[in-house]
Amino acid sequence: MKLSLRFVLPLILVLAGIAYVVTPLVDQLTLRWFVRDIDMRSSLIANTVQEPLLELLASGRKAKIVNLFNRISKDERLYAIAYCATAKDAALLSRTLPKEIRCANLDQWEGPRDHLLLSAQGPLHVAVKAMASETAPEGRLVLVHDMKFVTLRSAETKRYVFYFFMGLAVVISLITVIIAQLSWRGWMAGVRALLRGEGLLVWQQGSEAQPKQSEFKPIARDLQRLIRELESESRTRDEGQVTWSADALRAILHGELRGEDVIVVSNREPYIHQRMDGHIEVQRPASGLVTALEPIMRACSGTWIAHGSGTADREVVDKDDRIAVPPENPAYKIRRVWLSKEEEAGYYYGFSNEGMWPLCHIAHVRPIFRSSDWEQYVAVNRKFAKAVVSEAKTKNPIVLVQDYHFALLPKMIREELPDATIITFWHIPWPNPESFAICPWRDAVLEGMLGSSILGFHTQFHCNNFVDTVDRFIEARVDRESFNVSFGGKLTAVRRYPISIAWPPEAEMVQKPVADCRSEIRQLNNLPPEHKLGVGVDRLDYTKGIMERFRAIERLLELNPEWIGRFSFVQIAAPTRTGIEEYQHHETQVREMAARINVRFGLNGPPPIVLKVQHHEPREVYEYFRASDLCFVSSLHDGMNLVAKEFVAARDDDRGVLILSQFTGAARELPESLIVNPYDADQCAAALHMALTMPADEQRDRMRLMRGLVAEFNVFRWAGRMLLDAAAMRRRSKLGERNGREER
């Protein structure tokens, strides 16, 4: 509309200006025409009157002449007619001549011009014709025409000129608007095509691409330059100069992936329905993965496929096993996949957690591989692949496959949906080729994973191990420069995407002041107000090095006995995979060790170790983080470790010390923590002592640096970078397809 007005308003103004100038000209022209007409008319009347008038003059019958004049002047336009024998005589006339016309002043109207007279009666036309007779050789006939009709005609002309220009304005405006709209649409479509890289002739080595439509030539180069600048700007932003947020991620997804078909597959579901004392409760598992992937699902209204593990999960789904979530404001769907007890035992507890988990973590627990577990793993992966195919709305969905439970899924999806963009993220470490060779189905696992378009790990070290493993065991082409693996005619990009946590943390988590957290947590655990406190938060898993942690505490008390009775360590240990024997054994060992150390150093005062084997709510976990003087993460091997980052996020008071195992992915990002080897008890004890005696300003300096890093490299960046890479990959393959078509 604005565009049309931009064209129409100036057009109307110009036409109005032309009308303003043209109207008086037309007026003058018509006046000239009328005057000329009346001149001719006057000559005609004079010629007609001449004969009878001369006869009457010759006979001297003046009364008859007046009668003749009266008859003639009945004509409505002829105002008066008179005869002057000489300049001195009085005139013979039809009715009273206007007083401005006298026989003595007729000369002024005798010429070819200036016949107009503005008298008191209005505008008049005066024509003087020589009408000499024998008796009056100077005789002249005066014909006076009324010109009022000219004024009326002039008004009428003005009206018509006005209507004419109005009509002209409407017609020209309509045509202009239609042409403008059509051209605008054409332009927009052309510019959009240029922005998408379409509408360009094939790129030639070392030259700019040329637009197909010649009218875009002048701007094509500028547009291409602009696009390149924006891309490099967004790359700079990617490098972490701007803080990523849920909103930024949503905006990017809207821009890059609007209308795309996005499917997430994970073992754990983001919302679990549990039956509790007669009512159904919705639980949200505390998981970084859910935090990271939810904005994607909300922005794309996608589908999240997961194992329906809640006791009331079946009661709430529709006939297609779907439920819209979040419950308070549905934005995407969960598609639940049901597993039998045998399937769960073989796929989840067996192959995934007794086989792959110890295989990928160097924690000196032997992996157990049973062929029956493998069969269930294959069958369950196939079940999920079917679910993905049935949920896909297009031939080329974006599928985000999560973790080691689904190593075979990428290939299975690729077989059914060859054009899908499959991003697999492996949340745990990838071992070296010798360690991986233990797996009896190693080739099938590798081939399964190479069905992915992008394969993500937390660290470059894990990417290197994976590429080495592929190079060693299967017939694939590995490009170590680009980190792409070519297998079965398809490329897999192996990339590093370090996972993180949401930033800023939820307001509810850091609501309670640190001082209140410190006093309340000490009271809750019957500890004196000034008691030093350390904290550990983990699933009760042997890879987390909880026993090594306890050994380090024991060593601290041996080497620095001044801490006996002045320092306690709270270990929150969430029960996990309790159906697996190794985990039951581990729990027993952890409990026994805590008890032994407490007997050794805690009989006369507060216990050095407070072991809490139970699930805690995220808010409670954060209260412990805020109440503690240090947090100890001693994983024997860990893909990333989110607890380290959560502790940093919880400390908005810039206090507290993080002790971090060198075998976590997080250690590469948080060098300001006290990095330790968890197997070296003396070193860990020294780090504990250093943390307990660290001056406040050193704590602040270290914590600020770590908080800066976690803020910048947060979970939205993790998800955003993966999806931006996927979007770029899709654009490139679209361009390739089009160029292929054009070459054909």
Binding-site ranges for ligand GDG (CB under 6 A):
286, 288, 427-428, 499, 537-539, 572, 574, 615-618, 621, 638-643, 646
Closest separation between CB of residue 639 and ligand GDG, Å?
3
State which residue, 69 or 663, has the beta carbon closest to ligand GDG: 663
Measured in residues, the chain has a length of: 744
Q: Is 417 helix (H, G, I), strand (E, B) or coil?
A: coil
Phi and psi (nearest 5°) for 688? -65, -45
> Structure tokens of 515?
């001082």
Distances (CA, A) of 109 to 126, 140, 142, 176, 369: 6, 11, 9, 53, 129
- With 0-12 CB in 10 A as exposed, 13-18 as middle and 19+ as buried, what is 405? buried
Question: Any bridge partners for residue 425, and if so which?
Answer: 402, 456
Give the shortest CB-353-to-ligand GDG separation in angstroms. Answer: 11
Between 49 and 509, CB nearer to ligand GDG? 509
- CB-nearer residue toward ligand GDG: 81 or 264: 264
Closer by beta carbon to ligand GDG, 487 or else 497 = 497
- What is the nearest approach in angstroms of ligand GDG to the Cβ of residue 652? 17
Q: How far apart are CA 309 and CA 339, in angstroms?
A: 8
CB nearer to ligand GDG: pick between 211 and 505: 505
* DSSP secondary structure, 95-117, as one string: SPPPTT--GGGGGGGTSSS--EE
Q: Which one, 597 or 667, has the nearer CB to ligand GDG?
A: 667
378 vs 572, beta carbon nearer ligand GDG: 572
Q: Rounded distance, CA 449 to CA 62, Å?
A: 130
d(CA 177, CA 631) in angstroms, rounded, equals: 70
> Which of these, 741, 8, 87, 377, lies nearest to 368 by C-alpha position?
377
Nearer to ligand GDG, 261 or 541 (CB): 541
Q: How far apart are the first and last CA of the chain?
A: 43
Query: Measured from the CB of residue 360, what is the shortest distance to ligand GDG in angstroms?
Result: 9
Tell me 463's DSSP state: H
Which structure tokens are listed for 406? 């689904």
To ligand GDG, the closest distance from the beta carbon of 286 in angstroms equals 3
Least spacing, CB of residue 514 vs ligand GDG, in Å:
18
Q: Please, what is the minimum distance in Å from the beta carbon of residue 618 to ligand GDG?
A: 4
Q: Which is nearer to ligand GDG, 296 or 428 (CB)?
A: 428
Q: What DSSP state is assigned to residue 664?
A: B
Shortest separation between residue 540's beta carbon and ligand GDG, angstroms: 9
CB 463 within 8 A of CB 494: yes
DSSP symbol at 650: H
In angstroms, rounded to a whole number, what is the distance separating the alpha carbons of residues 6 and 287?
55
> Would you say 552 and 686 are in contact if contact means Cβ atoms under 8 Å apart?
no
For ligand GDG, the closer of residues 353 and 699 by Cβ is 353
Residue 537 or 657: which CB sits closer to ligand GDG? 537
Q: How far is the CB of 289 from ligand GDG (least distance, A)?
A: 6
**C-beta closer to ligand GDG: residue 347 or 357:** 357
Q: Where are the beta strands (DSSP E) in 377-444?
A: 398-402, 421-425
Bridge partners, 145 (sequence order) = 78, 125
Nearer to ligand GDG, 53 or 449 (CB): 449
Of the pair 485, 643, the CB lying nearest ligand GDG is at: 643
State the nearest-atom distance from the C-beta of 640 to ligand GDG, in Å: 3
How near is the Cβ of 273 to ligand GDG at its closest, in Å? 18
Q: If residue 283 lies in a helix (H) or strand (E), which one and from where to where?
A: strand 279-283
Distance CA 416, CA 397 (A): 12
Which of residues 78 and 423 has its CB atom nearest to ligand GDG in the complex? Answer: 423
- Which amino acid, 286? A
Tell the burial category of 402 from Cβ atoms under 10 Å away from its Cβ (0-12, 13-18, 19+). buried
Those residues whose C-beta lies under 8 Å from the C-beta of residue 271, and which sit 6 or more positions away, are 282, 283, 284, 323, 325, 326, 327, 334
Least distance in Å: CB of 357 to ligand GDG? 9
Query: Which residue shows structure tokens 């800066």?
Result: 708
Q: What share of the chain is helix, strand, coil (3-state, %, to 5)?
A: 55, 15, 30
Residue owning tokens 């800023």: 504
Neighbours of 375 (CB within 10 A): 14
Q: How far is the CB of 598 from ligand GDG (least distance, A)?
A: 21
In angstroms, the CA 347 to CA 343 distance is: 6
Q: How far is the CB of 708 from ligand GDG (least distance, A)?
A: 20
Using the minimum distance from each CB to ligand GDG, give the nearer residue, 605 or 618: 618
Under 8 Å between Cβ of 253 and 297: no
558 touches 518 (CB < 8 A): no
Rounded to 10°, the helix 288-300/246-257 angle is: 40
Minimum distance from CB of 689 to ligand GDG (Å)? 25
At closest approach, how far in Å is the CB of 456 from ligand GDG? 10
Q: For residues 103 and 640, which CB has a smaller minimum distance to ligand GDG in the complex?
A: 640
Least separation in angstroms between CB 427 and ligand GDG? 4
Furthest-apart CA atoms within the chain: distance in Å: 166
User: Looking at beta carbons only, is 305 or 537 nearer to ligand GDG?
Assistant: 537
Smallest gap from residue 593 Cβ to ligand GDG (A): 19
From the list 643, 663, 633, the residue with the least C-alpha distance to 546 is 633
75: left (phi over 0), alpha (psi -120 to 50) or beta: beta
Alpha helices per DSSP H over 526-617 = 546-559, 581-601
**Token pair for residue 575?**
């029960």
Question: CB count, 10 Å around CB of 682?
Answer: 12
Rounded Cα distance between 75 and 496, Å, is 106
